[in-house]
């Protein structure tokens, strides 16, 4: 179960989801989940150009999913999991809207079905 981070804003939520909507960016996020990496290391599995990778990293950074840094000649990135957890927390909140009402629907249906069977019992007794 993910830690429930403070709920992010609708805008942040949009940025995270649009950042993750791209397969290359999801792969980058997954690679970074095992630790910090340089841009060159991140680009290695892909056939697209380094500038294209940098554009993807920019999208991820704007969404707050990664932070980038420079050590001498090496540019690198690391994951900041708080944003992802925030988006997951959003999903949990929406899911809870349904499940809480469904608990009450359970009770409502139980009342209906027990009323139905009480009526049926009474009718059967009257028919004897």
Q: What's the chain look like in SS3?
A: CCCCCCCCCHHHHHHHHHHHCCHHHHHHHHHHCCCCEEHHHHHCCCCCCHHHHHHHHHHHHHCCCEEEEEECCEEEEEECCHHHHHHHHHHHHHHHHHHHHHHHHHHHHHHHHHHHHHHHHHHHHHHC
Q: Considering the complex, what minimum distance in angstroms separates the CB of residue 29 from other proteins?
A: 6
The pattern of x and - marking residues 28 through 67 that bind other proteins according to CB under 8 A reads: -xx--xx---------------------------------
**In the window 70-109, what residues touch other proteins (CB under 8 A)?**
81, 84-85, 88, 90-91, 93-95, 97-102, 104-109
Per CB under 8 A, 120 contacts other proteins: no
């Amino acid at each position: 179960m993910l830690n429930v981070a403070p709920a992010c804003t609708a805008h942040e939520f949009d940025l995270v989801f649009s950042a993750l909507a791209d397969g290359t960016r999801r792969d980058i996020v997954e690679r970074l989940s095992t630790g910090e990496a340089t841009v060159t290391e991140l680009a290695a599995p892909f056939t697209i150009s380094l500038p294209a990778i940098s554009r993807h990293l920019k999208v991820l950074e704007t969404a707050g999913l990664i932070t980038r840094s420079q050590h001498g000649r090496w540019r690198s990135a690391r994951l900041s999991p708080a944003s992802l957890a925030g988006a997951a927390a959003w999903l949990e909140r929406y899911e809870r809207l349904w499940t809480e009402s469904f608990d009450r629907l359970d009770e409502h249906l139980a009342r209906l079905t027990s009323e139905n069977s009480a009526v049926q019992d009474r009718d059967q007794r009257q028919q004897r």
